[in-house]
């Protein structure tokens, strides 16, 4: 019977054995009668060594036709080799080419980013992309583990919706039989309904914003995790955020050390990310920014450069809390101590990454919520069910949304969110 293929990440358990590795050829080098092939199998990279006098002529000839990204099955004995990537090499006895590749478009040279995004289906194979998306997968798993351990129920909220979740300005609209539907900007409103049924819930899914901005922080489709907790106030909400964010960082440091090294992430900068995070009120943040010579007045939203300035040199994220109501969404609870502001916060990551989380206590007073819906000019009839939550046992509650791509960009130290999602959707990009 044919032995099963061995995954490269498990090679240390097979030292001295003859195994078969299946994967794709990276770089190849020939020194006279010895050839070296890097074989990538999706779990890691191993160096395969073909010695002409030790293999059948067909095997030696096969290596000669191997071009980058050809698919192969390589059989050989596993040896410890500290100088090889991954610490092992294969002393090749057999080599089968299962899929020849010719003229692979991505070459080891500088390519423009548009070219790389056009070839995203292939670019995924490149080591930095591979590493970044593995960190993403670990962070997503850590999100589930964090909430599962704390007894939260995962709720799948709809993607097609009739209610505007955040702002009217960035909606994707589609026909829905006789009606209009939008792609969800958030799962939050449904999360609030579920919090009254299950107490502690989270939603986790794709969300959509027709952002007409081309920045390194905006996608039109991004993934968001949104917990919602009954009887939690804004203060407790910030504590939950700092616990979650710290846990995600810790998990990446613990389980993605190899990936972060490949990405050349200075992990020392993540070592002190733990509660409590830094805190500043919006009013104090505006004063501090004005003191730095930035042009900002009370009432204006903070821009990306303001966020960068506020977090300059910080060892962990910063909460900016209680923004003016006008710059935030309609559902945020009015601050009883200063009615111009809402009980809300943004969580800003250091090193120039800016907002990774937005959260708030929700308006639980029916009349005030209705007034905000009217002030924003939102269609009241779409919110009748949402208002029911204030009619039938209204309760204080809070929640937040953590953007997966922005969080992973910060943890991996990569500048652009477009590399943090397998197939980014941008204003000018729907392909591949
Ligand atoms: O601050 P936002 O808009 O908050 C909400 O959607 C709330 N409903 C969340 C809640 O309270 N349940 O978005 C939350 C986070 C941001 O902090 C950011 O990380 C991410 O979602 N985000 C984006 N990420 C990538 N591209 C975009 N266009 C994003 N817009 C928001
Ligand atoms: Mg926000």
- pLDDT band at 1; cut points 50, 70, 90: low
Ligand 1, atom nearest to 400 Cα: 11
Ligand 1, atom nearest to 165 Cα: 8
pLDDT value for 213: 83
403 ligand 1 Cβ < 6 A: yes
Cα-to-centroid distance, 139 and ligand 2 (Å):
20
Cα-to-centroid distance, 184 and ligand 1 (Å):
12
In whole angstroms, what is the distance from residue 386 CA to residue 140 CA?
A: 29
- pLDDT band at 63; cut points 50, 70, 90: confident
417 ligand 1 Cβ < 6 A: yes
224 ligand 1 Cβ < 6 A: yes
pLDDT at position 10 over 70: yes
- pLDDT band at 3; cut points 50, 70, 90: confident
pLDDT value for 4: 79
Going by alpha carbons, the residue nearest to atom 9 of ligand 1 is: 401
Cα-to-centroid distance, 357 and ligand 2 (Å):
7
Name the closest ligand to CA 356. Answer: 1
Going by alpha carbons, the residue nearest to atom 18 of ligand 1 is: 403
Contact (Cβ atoms closer than 8 angstroms) between residue 354 and residue 348: yes
Mean pLDDT of 285-307: 97
328 ligand 1 Cβ < 6 A: no
pLDDT value for 85: 86
In whole angstroms, what is the distance from residue 262 CA to residue 413 CA?
A: 11
Determine which of 30-39, 163-172, 410-419 has the lowest per-residue pLDDT on average: 163-172
- 42-56: per-residue pLDDT in tens? 999 999 999 999 999
- 351-386: per-residue pLDDT in tens? 999 999 999 999 999 999 999 999 999 999 999 999
- pLDDT band at 89; cut points 50, 70, 90: very high
In whole angstroms, what is the distance from residue 206 CA to residue 220 CA?
A: 10
The percentage of residues in the chain with a pLDDT greater than 90, rounded to a whole number, is: 95
Mean pLDDT of 142-162: 98
pLDDT at position 7 over 80: yes
- 163-214: per-residue pLDDT in tens? 998 988 999 999 999 999 999 999 999 999 999 999 999 999 999 999 888 8
Cα-to-centroid distance, 145 and ligand 2 (Å):
25
Q: Tell if the pTM clears 0.85, that is, is over it.
A: yes
Name the closest ligand to CA 226. Answer: 1
Task: Give me the helix-helix angle, 234-255 and 404-412, nearest 10°.
Answer: 50
Write down the mean pLDDT value for the chain.
96
pLDDT at position 2 over 80: no
Going by alpha carbons, the residue nearest to atom 29 of ligand 1 is: 218
């Amino acid at each position: 019977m044919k032995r099963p293929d061995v995954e490269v990440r498990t090679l240390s358990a097979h030292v001295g054995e003859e195994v078969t590795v299946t994967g794709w050829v990276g770089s190849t080098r020939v020194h006279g009668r010895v050839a070296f092939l890097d074989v990538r199998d999706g779990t890691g990279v191993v160096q395969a060594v073909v010695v002409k006098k030790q293999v059948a002529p067909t095997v030696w000839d096969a290596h000669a036709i191997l071009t980058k990204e050809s698919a192969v099955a390589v059989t050989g004995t596993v040896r410890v080799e500290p100088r090889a990537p991954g610490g092992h090499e294969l002393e090749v006895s057999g080599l089968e080419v299962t899929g020849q590749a010719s003229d692979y478009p991505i070459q080891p040279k500088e390519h423009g980013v548009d070219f790389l995004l056009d070839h995203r289906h292939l670019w995924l194979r490149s080591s930095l992309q591979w590493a970044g998306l593995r960190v993403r997968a670990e962070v997503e798993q850590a999100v589930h583990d964090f909430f599962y351990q704390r007894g939260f129920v995962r709720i799948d909220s709809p993607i097609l919706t009739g209610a505007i979740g955040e702002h009217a300005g960035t909606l994707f609209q589609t026909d829905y039989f006789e009606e209009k539907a939008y792609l969800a900007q958030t799962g939050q409103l449904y999360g609030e309904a579920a919090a009254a049924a299950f107490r502690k819930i989270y939603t986790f899914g794709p969300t959509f914003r027709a952002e007409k901005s081309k920045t390194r922080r905006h996608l039109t489709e991004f993934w968001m995790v949104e917990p919602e907790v009954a009887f939690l106030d804004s203060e407790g909400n910030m504590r939950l955020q700092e616990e979650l964010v710290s846990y995600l960082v810790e998990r990446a440091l613990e389980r993605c050390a190899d990936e972060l090294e490949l990405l050349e992430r200075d992990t020392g900068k993540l070592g002190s990310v733990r509660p409590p995070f830094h805190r500043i009120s919006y009013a104090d943040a505006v004063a501090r920014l004005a003191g730095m010579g930035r042009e900002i007045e009370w009432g204006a939203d903070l821009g990306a450069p303001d966020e960068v300035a506020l977090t300059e040199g910080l060892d962990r994220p910063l909460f900016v809390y209680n923004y003016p109501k006008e710059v935030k969404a309609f559902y945020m609870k009015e601050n009883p101590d200063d009615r111009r502001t809402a009980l809300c916060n943004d969580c800003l990551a250091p090193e120039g990454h800016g907002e990774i989380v937005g959260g708030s206590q929700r308006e639980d007073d029916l009349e005030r919520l209705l007034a905000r819906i009217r002030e924003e000019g939102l269609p009241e009839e779409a919110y009748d069910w949402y208002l029911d939550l204030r009619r039938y046992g209204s309760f204080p509650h809070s929640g937040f949304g953590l953007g997966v791509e922005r969080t992973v960009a910060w943890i991996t130290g990569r500048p652009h969110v477009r590399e943090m999602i397998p197939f980014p959707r941008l204003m000018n990009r729907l392909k591949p």
